[in-house]
Amino acid sequence: MSNPSDKLEAINPKDIQGAKKAPINLIPPVALVHEALAFQNGAEKYGAFNWREKRVLASVYIGAALRHLLAYADGEDRAADSGLHHLAHVRACLAILLDAEECGQLGDDRPAKGTAGPMIEALATKDAPAPNDVCRRCAGWFEEIHTCGRS
């Protein structure tokens, strides 16, 4: 189904200016409600917008987001401690990472850049390598993504 506003022509100057801004209206409202509940839960525990007052570590929120995502992927819908949807917690963790980064409050303690991105891209475009084709030093495969200097 198409967006009803796609069929309307902007005639008001406010419409023209509004069309240039981030299309917040494209975010499903139910996702925002779930995310708001997760933020409410976090605010009760740690204080609202606490990451803007004290620097936060990326690894803490990446780990929490991954734990919630893995629990959801493993068939569990709701977090035992909050009763909220795991995906609501994932959204909240990712939103905090984005906000903290934009506000200069993110401690970027991620490891040095790896090869996951190129490996995922290569998997989408080529056959996966045989186990013997994977370099044990850098986990690289397909010559173009080796990071250890091996050719």
- Look up residue 123 and give its two tokens: 């998997």
Q: Flag whether pLDDT at 43 surpasses 60.
A: yes
Identify the DSSP state of 80: T
What does the pLDDT look like over 47-99, one tens digit per residue? 999 999 999 999 999 999 999 999 999 999 999 999 999 999 999 999 999 99
The tokens of 79 are what?
């977090």
The pTM is what? 0.75
Question: Tell me, what DSSP letter sits at residue 107?
Answer: E
φ/ψ (deg, to 5) at 85:
-60, 135
14: confidence class by pLDDT, cuts 50, 70, 90? confident
Domain boundary assignment for the chain: 25-107, 116-145
CA distance 151 to 149: 6
Q: Please give the pLDDT value at position 95.
A: 98
pLDDT band, residue 7 (cuts 50/70/90): low
Helices H, strands E: what count in the chain? 6, 2
- What pLDDT score does 141 carry? 52
Residue 52 near residue 95, CB atoms below 8 Å: no
Burial class (CB in 10 A: 0-12, 13-18, 19+), 57: middle
Residue 80 φ then ψ, to 5°: -65, -40
